[in-house]
Structure 1
Amino acid sequence: MTGRILVVDGTATHRIILRVKLGSAFYDVAQAASGTAALEEALRTRPDLVLAANRLEDMTGAELCRRLRPLSPSRDLPVILIQSSDDPAGRLEALRAGAEDTLARPLDEVLLFARLRSLLRAREAERELRLRDDTGRALGLAEDASAFVPRARVALVEAPGADRGAIATGLRDLANADLASCTRKDVLQGRAAATDLFVLVEGPGGAALDLLSEVRSRPDTRRAAILYIAAEGQRREAATALDLGADDLVIGAALPEELTLRTEKLMQRKRVTDRLRASMQEGLRAALTDPMTGLYNRRYALPHLERIDAAAQRSGKPYGVLMLDIDRFKTINDGYGHAVGDLVLTDIARRLQHNLRAADLLARHGGEEFLVILPDTDADQTLNIANRLCARVREVPVKIGAGLPPLPVTISAGATVGPAASGLETGALIAAADHALYAAKEAGRDRAVGTRVMPHLSPKRAISASSRSA
């Protein structure tokens, strides 16, 4: 099924007709004859959308909207109310009560199904974002939303020949938003890239539909909210607009208050989805980076090494792998405390990062050990880079606090080059670099040692290698 819809209507004929139409489109349909029965059915079946008559025997459609909202876990259950005739004042009342839209009898089947698809698609997308946000919070990777609400940027784009009517008046009263009129050319040339909400007013030739497709396909505008406004005779264009990605629409005459209400609801919804998306991205970033140094961690570095190796296998160009370790780090921790140890780690990480190229990857491999991946780098260059990093750390002692002398710190480095030989995994490269690092330690520390990949060094040892305390 494509979704569960609860049909609420006191007239049995209306319920049967809707059930047949929705069932033919493979929707799962539940029915109720009154508002009270609808509330019970909503608790029992957990519908994805409610399609209800605006007048029921025991309550109005607006009251049903208000009473349905607390029953949805995320308070986002979409409701469409069906009016006996098109009534702008009744539509405004329904929107204020929380309905997504109203439709007038006789129902336009094409517009009805376009509206259902649009609402269910938007609800599923937001539900997925909320699920990921909840997962991030459970893992401690998400932050609470900021109380600060930035001003929204609203662009009014009118197609040639469009009738403004009450549009400008309704948009003029928007709270916490800046309204600007712009042309199709402005949008196509990127001058509306920072827009939060586009209000596209259709003209006689369907130009706004073409622009809607452009807005949805361009990276700098595809996440903007879109309100599509059509004339009474443009219902097919309105249905197409929903399928092309319009978030809401107005057909025919509308009170200025309705336009204000719809646009403010769209801006609020966009703020929520922007926050959820940012939270998800921050959670992904947190999962792949070391919180102390800000460097990537092994979870990111090892798949990155696989990608670099695959590219090198195709191109035939070598790349370097370094394993770096802070010398006598356990002595620093034991003698000065973990706070100083953390300070040394972050300082060394910063120096290493500043002395690598933008294409190079520096990751904290664990403890006081770092992994460096150097694309398009041969054996001599790799060893030279390793020696340079050792020198940069050696040259300047680490400042560890007022009243204490700077602390001399050195690192040791093991170097090797890829791509991995036939039959070997990239873990063998890490094992070889780790073996060279051990040789550098044995030779007196504060130096770099290079090696070739040795088949007897298994990937398992490389992946499980722990930080050294020497």
Structure 2
Amino acid sequence: MSARVLVVDDIEANRKLLCAKLAHEYFQVTTAVDGLDAIDKAIATEPDIILLDVMMPRMDGFEACRELKFDPRTEHIPIVMVTALNEREDRLKGLRAGADDFLTKPINDLQLLSRVRALSKYKLVADELRKREASGRRIGVIDVTPTGRGGNPARVLVVDDNERQAARICRYLETDHKPMTLANAGAKPGGVGAGAATVDIMVLSLGGEKYDGLKLCAYLRNLEATRDLPILAIVGAEDEALAVRALDLGASDILVRPIDPEELLARVKTQVSKKRYIDSLRARLDQSMELAVTDQLTGLHNRRYMENQLEQFMKRANMGGGPVSILLCDLDHFKKVNDGHGHDVGDEVLRQFSDRLMHNIRPSDIACRYGGEEFMVIMPDTTIQMAQLTAERIREKVDGAPFSINNGLGRLDVTMSGGASVTFPPDDSVAQLIKRADEALYNAKENGRNRIVCNFDGF
């Protein structure tokens, strides 16, 4: 998979070397000469990965990393710190600054390419969600961009068939997180998917004798429930090929033994932060989809959703499926409510009516606000006789108790009228179905209101 890579290094020879290695694998490469230049290029070119040297003039890599991760325009871009130093403190400093990974010069080609590919997959998902989120903001159903970086302690599943090693890893993590072993989660390596679906990250030892760590990585990536679960794979210092293979199969990050507790915590924090960012984007998108089909005053489905659902049900009914009935209902004399008590009271009545409507239909029925004080209930697999019973039940619940107004200070009697109709295959249409219900509603209004009339045309 190709990706756009920004290479940042103050030494031209280093930039050329990295560019050549990446271009050979068909990555698109741009370059920057220091931290300040990197920030400008990242904003301008929106790369998929940034390879950021540590020791540079004007602004070093650590400071540039912090700036990039602080800026909402670039915070989602994975950063790999590159340095000639291989000191523990440098790794920790880079990870704490927000780096996603750390490579030491001279750079190993396999490690470089495997990390770039692994991080590109994350960026691809993030970009798609960000585009959808931006579309939601443009049409007004999303108001702010989520960050999702903070949050509660992470639930960490530690998978290691050496119980002592698993317990030690849990002790390292329990200062900041909520770790558990497979035994604590009540699962076995063969059934680890169920346990993994309930946690924020998995710390997986690849050297297990009772299970195949690589196979487990691939398996979890193929499960819907764990497809996006971060996997921090632990390998021995001599297992370079194993680490590279793990990244190719879906591991999110690699930690080399002997385990440094602070590096473990830093890498877990980074992976959990990325997961929560993606989760936050998805949650906002789910919310935006719900808002797009929801009436904001009543919480019922809106007319757009109603029309779409009716079209689907009508097609099914015309092709031999079960009958679909609709109830078109209207609050009687609602204009007097608005004129006599104000629109705030009118809104209170509409919300309470919607609540009574929802509590008196089946889970399979669809309640929608048709417009103003008119509402529709779509009832799949429902005869007109069954629809009449439902409509009468709703009418009785509306007429049976006064509506609370002025925040509970007053009471108001409200009634409703309704017209019901049913599909008439094989050549029925949504427009005809609604017209029949509308005619029945008109008859209910003309004959004294507070009643249900059913249109039996076609019988």
TM-score bracket for this pair, using the shorter chain length? 0.7 to 0.9
Secondary structure class of the residue paired with 2:434: helix
1:374 pairs with 373, 379, 388, which one? Answer: 379
The residue number in structure 2 matching 1:450 is 454
| Offset at residue 198 of structure 1 (A) | 1.2
Q: Distance in 1 between matches of 2:157 and 2:362?
A: 41
The residue number in structure 1 matching 2:192 is 188
Secondary structure class of the residue paired with 2:268: helix
Cα deviation, 1:257-314, whole Å, max 9, x if unaligned, reads 1111111222233333333322222222222222222211112221112222233344
Amino acid in the other structure paired with 1:414 = G
Contact kept, 8 Å, 2:337 with 2:346, in 1: the verdict is: yes
Secondary structure class of the residue paired with 1:229: strand
| Offset at residue 368 of structure 1 (A) | 0.7
| Offset at residue 399 of structure 1 (A) | 3.6
Q: Distance in 2 between matches of 1:358 and 1:335?
A: 36
Cα deviation, 1:174-227, whole Å, max 9, x if unaligned, reads x2x212122561753734542112111111556222333343344444443321
2:202 pairs with 176, 198, 202, which one? Answer: 198
The residue number in structure 2 matching 1:3 is 3
Change (3 A) 1:336 1:43: closer
Greater CA deviation, 410-419 or 54-63? Answer: 54-63
1:248 maps to 2:263:
no
The residue number in structure 1 matching 2:390 is 385
Structure 2 unpaired stretches of 5+? none
Amino acid in the other structure paired with 1:126 = A
Q: Distance in 1 between matches of 2:137 and 2:82?
A: 39
Greater CA deviation, 340-349 or 88-97? Answer: 88-97
Greater CA deviation, 56-65 or 110-119? Answer: 56-65
Q: Which aligned pairs between 1:129-278 and structure 2 lie closer than 5 A? A: 129-137=129-137, 139=140, 141-142=142-143, 149-159=151-161, 167-168=169-170, 170-173=172-175, 175=176, 177-183=177-183, 185=188, 188=192, 190-203=194-207, 207-278=212-283
Greater CA deviation, 282-291 or 61-70? Answer: 61-70
Greater CA deviation, 18-27 or 138-147? Answer: 138-147
Greater CA deviation, 75-84 or 427-436? Answer: 75-84
The residue number in structure 1 matching 2:436 is 432
Q: Distance in 1 between matches of 2:150 and 2:34?
A: 42
Change (3 A) 1:68 1:233: same
Contact kept, 8 Å, 2:68 with 2:74, in 1: the verdict is: no
Q: Which aligned pairs between 1:394-409 and structure 2 lie closer than 5 A? A: 394-400=399-405, 404=410, 406-409=411-414
| Offset at residue 396 of structure 1 (A) | 2.7
Amino acid in the other structure paired with 1:157 = V
Amino acid in the other structure paired with 2:229 = A
Change (3 A) 1:204 1:141: closer
The residue number in structure 1 matching 2:120 is 120
Amino acid in the other structure paired with 1:446 = N
Amino acid in the other structure paired with 2:75 = R
Change (3 A) 1:393 1:435: same
Q: Which aligned pairs between 1:15-30 and structure 2 lie closer than 5 A? A: 15-30=15-30
Q: Distance in 1 between matches of 2:409 and 2:96?
A: 65
Change (3 A) 1:32 1:282: closer
Change (3 A) 1:66 1:407: closer
Q: Distance in 1 between matches of 2:27 and 2:193?
A: 41
Cα deviation, 1:3-28, whole Å, max 9, x if unaligned, reads 32122345555433432332232211
Change (3 A) 1:45 1:298: closer
Structure 1 unpaired stretches of 5+? 455-470
Q: Distance in 2 between matches of 1:242 and 1:344?
A: 58
Q: Distance in 2 between matches of 1:291 and 1:42?
A: 39
Contact kept, 8 Å, 1:88 with 1:254, in 2: the verdict is: no
Secondary structure class of the residue paired with 2:449: coil
| Offset at residue 104 of structure 1 (A) | 3.2
Q: Distance in 2 between matches of 1:400 and 1:35?
A: 61
Contact kept, 8 Å, 1:7 with 1:32, in 2: the verdict is: yes
Amino acid in the other structure paired with 1:153 = R
Q: Distance in 2 between matches of 1:70 and 1:363?
A: 43
The residue number in structure 2 matching 1:441 is 445
1:288 maps to 2:310:
no
| Offset at residue 150 of structure 1 (A) | 2.8
Superposition RMSD in Å:
3.4
Q: Which aligned pairs between 1:51-66 and structure 2 lie closer than 5 A? A: 51-56=51-56, 61-66=61-66
Greater CA deviation, 330-339 or 157-166? Answer: 157-166
The residue number in structure 2 matching 1:463 is none
Contact kept, 8 Å, 1:142 with 1:279, in 2: the verdict is: no
The residue number in structure 2 matching 1:74 is 74
Q: Distance in 2 between matches of 1:37 and 1:391?
A: 71
| Offset at residue 155 of structure 1 (A) | 1.5
Change (3 A) 1:36 1:277: closer
Amino acid in the other structure paired with 1:29 = V
Change (3 A) 1:113 1:383: same
| Offset at residue 159 of structure 1 (A) | 4.0
Equivalent pairs, count: 450
1:339 pairs with 338, 344, 357, which one? Answer: 344
Contact kept, 8 Å, 2:170 with 2:180, in 1: the verdict is: no
Give the percent of matched residue pairs that are identical in Structure 1 and Structure 2: 35
Change (3 A) 1:400 1:40: closer
Amino acid in the other structure paired with 1:185 = K
Q: Distance in 2 between matches of 1:80 and 1:335?
A: 66
| Offset at residue 325 of structure 1 (A) | 0.8
Amino acid in the other structure paired with 2:15 = R
| Offset at residue 130 of structure 1 (A) | 3.7
Amino acid in the other structure paired with 1:304 = Q
